[in-house]
Amino acid sequence: MLEHNLRRVRIWALTCAALAVLLLAVASCRSSKKEEPAPAGKVTLQTLDETEFGRILERYRGKVVLVDYWALWCVPCKKLFPHTVELYHELAGRGLAVISVSLDGLDNKAEVQEFLRAHEATFDNFIASHEPAEAAVLLGIESGIPHLRLFDRDGKLRGTFPPPQTAVEPAEIDAAVKELLER
C-alpha cells in the first residue's frame, strides 16, 4: 500500500516537474524578446526622452512597428486613435508592435493617461518630455500631427502617414502594415 502511494507521489512529482519545465521554457521564450509587451489589459504611460527614441525602437527589432504621434488637442489624431488600437489588437499576434507618443507636454500627463485608458491602449505609450514644439524638432516631425511612422522588422523606416500633401487614409496604413508583416 505504502509502495503504491509512493509511486503515486512520484508520478505527481514528475508531472509537476515536467509542467514547471514546460512553463519555464515558454516564459523564457517570451522574455528572450528584448521588450516585454505591456501585460494584457494594462494601460501604461512612460515619459519619453526624445533623444533616446532611436534606442527605444531597437528593442522592437523583429517586429513591425507602427508609431502614432498624437495630442489631445488634435481632433483628427483622436479620431484615428481607435483605428490604431484596433490594428494592434488584430495584428499583435502576427508581430505588430504599436507605440504611441503624445505631444501634449508633461503638464497634461494625467489627461493623456485617461485618454489612453479610455481607449484601451494596451501597447507601449509615451509622452514627450519636452514642450511640444521642441519635441517635434527632436523627433523630426516636420508636418505637424497626425503623423504615423512604420518600421519593418529590421527597424528600417518604411512609411510615413499621411504622405506629403495627402490626407490620412487608414486603409493605406492597414495595407502597408500587413504587407510588412508578410515578409
Partner 1 sequence: MTRRSMIVVAAMAAVVAVAWALAPGLAADQKKLAIGDDAPTWSDLIGIDGAKHSLADYKKADLVVLVFTCNHCPVAQAYEGRLVQLQKDYEAKGVQVVAVNVNNLDADKLDQMKIRATEKGFNFPYLYDASQKIAKDYGATCTPHVFVLDKDRKVAYMGRIDDNQTVSKVKKQDLRSALDAILTGKSPPVTVTLQFGCTIKWD
Could you list the residues that contact partner 1 (CB under 8 A)?
73-76, 105, 131-134, 136-137, 141-147, 150, 158-168, 172, 176
H-helix or E-strand containing 137?
Answer: helix 132-139
Q: What's the closest the beta carbon of residue 143 comes to partner 1, in angstroms?
A: 4
Q: What's the closest the beta carbon of residue 11 comes to partner 1, in angstroms?
A: 59
H-helix or E-strand containing 45?
Answer: none
By beta-carbon proximity to partner 1, the closer residue of 54 and 164 is 164
By beta-carbon proximity to partner 1, the closer residue of 111 and 131 is 131
Place of cell 487614409: 169
By beta-carbon proximity to partner 1, the closer residue of 82 and 140 is 140
By beta-carbon proximity to partner 1, the closer residue of 82 and 144 is 144
Q: What's the closest the beta carbon of residue 160 comes to partner 1, in angstroms?
A: 5
Whole-angstrom Cα distance, residue 112 to residue 34? 26
> How many angstroms separate the Cα of 119 from the Cα of each of 37, 44, 52, 76, 81?
17, 12, 26, 15, 8
Write the single-letter amino acid at 94: R
By beta-carbon proximity to partner 1, the closer residue of 64 and 74 is 74
Q: What's the closest the beta carbon of residue 170 comes to partner 1, in angstroms?
A: 13
Whole-angstrom Cα distance, residue 99 to residue 46? 11
Whole-angstrom Cα distance, residue 71 to residue 106? 12
Whole-angstrom Cα distance, residue 64 to residue 94? 9
Q: What's the closest the beta carbon of residue 78 comes to partner 1, in angstroms?
A: 12
Cell numbers at 77, concatenated? 489624431
